[in-house]
Chain A
């Protein structure tokens, strides 16, 4: 996709009243939608749209589909909150899942998930796909803070995160991956993260872990660590640190680095750790460092 076809996130068509595509209800695994890769595979797109009504943020669209059950939580100030609940095991091999999150002008939305997402093999060796599409409009804010994704033995999952920001959008996004449950080799997990601001790419990354990805557990990629994750912070009213910050004294306990992207006012923390808890600690430390700069505190945005 090139810059000319990228939509600016301000004028977003509101996909309302979409017919439910999953026939079996929230707990069914009946085939639905186009191109079922397997008779029991699920094709589902859940949607969240938040907007600002002049006083506060409302969430006029919460569209459940397939394994996604979305729940409104109590707002925190002007910030609306939504939690993604998993209503069945997913993704399984062959599933095609998508989650669209749109925050319109001046909206403030936090999206979390209730539990880790677990990629399982299912009845087929076909790959599953999980596409998260995020659009944040002018002066709008999104916190996308899901629980980690766990890649289990023999699963194959290709996930994408496509983020379109306006020049004045704010984003805090955290994503973590655990490669195999305790003592288990992982399946194959690929992740493509593309972030555009005002239509221009500011971050493009692709990772591939678990066989057949070459040397993914070797000394250049993850080493012995089975948890990895990132924290991305884009904030136009933010005196972003210009220097990198190394986090973690003992590589055996995991380590991370908080770095400014080439694009201004955008930071990313990259972490590897033995366990998800240690990963979370590293990313939390990175977030604290990001906001250590004096100006961010004076503005009292948070």
Chain B
């Protein structure tokens, strides 16, 4: 019970008190060592006296020692300014105080208060918070200044200067609308610490309203948490901090936590799989429901979902066939009628880029070989199966030799495949590295021509692994391996999981290159051979990916191209490395839209405009850094569709809810106290309670000083009585 708790302003002095408590004991022990020695004749009387008074003397000494310890440590505790909340004691801070209200407008505060099914009350935690904040403003003594800060990311100060007019402050609070971001406590604390000097002269009282749900945890990184704790402690040294817990017990909430295209290689007429995931954050099983899939806000179809247990997910897929090459705006929404506390996270938008074609560059290490002898021929056939010359293909492959690479502008290609190339100039490797960093996809297929030491020396640092020696001395004899069906990772999983008898796993791998280094030093393994050696490795670099295939893409080292699954594997790899063209367009609330200028039409950038979901218009900034020009907006604070207009074109931007606030489970008080170290007062003002919010804090120091004076008198009297007084 916080009412019974006593906290201190300066916790450090509590440690000092503990240290000082040892002082009398140390003095006592030192005195026992510092004595004078005298011969004594009347020893028999002294021994008799000591025998009779020994126990009493020890008790007296112990009593005095305890008293002195209590007095000395009590002084340190009193200096630490202990206090407890009560309305009976006089106000200790005196004068006017600067009241800082931290109002939680994060997404979880939009949760409706628990109601019975037949009730239609739509009051939210946020509404309740506003009610209590207005009450608090009423309780603020006249003349005391007020500052209002909202917590939803990014934290904001609602008034530039101090609000001395309480009616004005109340009006500002009343006009406040719930946000959609997560809690930004760190940002809010930073704002308080940066308040102008004239606003920090007064004693301050911080009132933090929050529902304290799991999303409140804020930073999960230990270093961030440590920084935040430091900020809190700094504030606590000079301010009174009261937490108002306006939350209610956990409520049921379903949320659409994932909605995306399965891959980025999307073309007109190509079937596209969309993956959705619904999570039940509540504590009860949720009945079957429907999910609406909308294209440009038009209902496209409905998917029926089964019942979802508490804490469980349900993943569903839906396939569409885009008709034109354009930006597609798709959303999935849990159908209305599902009663949960938070409706804002029931819908999730996604932007897709349907591309006319996807250019891929194949670098052939064996130029001149027939089409289906070299590796490039097999890959080209797999990616661009053009049965007729006029047939449109999505993946437009171009073959080049290594010497041509220097002159090519790689950013024109969505992916580059290096096929059994012996060596590449260092500047080409550098160019490839930069290409991947900027979002390009690179695939490396090895073969008998590959100069292993050259690869390792020039690109070993950033390729998924350093290459090792060939696995078998005499390939084609009895030694061979296969792909291990138990070792699949994305992107192989979707097509091959559970298909152990498919051609991929029956293919015979007669030769491959081993890789060096420990598993932690290598990239992610996408697939392994049956002997455990890595077959496919991947590494993400900047905005792009590199995939290393440790065997060949033709029939020389394996018979995989003879299997039908070769095409699926090649397409999956391509889909895996090709960067999502819409990766800059799918954002989370409070993110900034930030896109390199090369992605946009350069001519129209200067006059670009951003339209928010509610129709407000703003102008993004064109900035430049070492990587060139890029376009940047202010943080996007509403979920839904934004539209970026430039040069007659328009790009949609999907802003999704941060799912951290969908889990309405509340964090424990002990967890709160790890974030806000003592002294902290946590007051539960859940809906329905009507207690006074601003309690005059009672300083225990005055009481303690009286008690210490009394103890001092008692000690003196006892010392005199016991004969210990000099």
Tell me if chain B binds chain A.
no
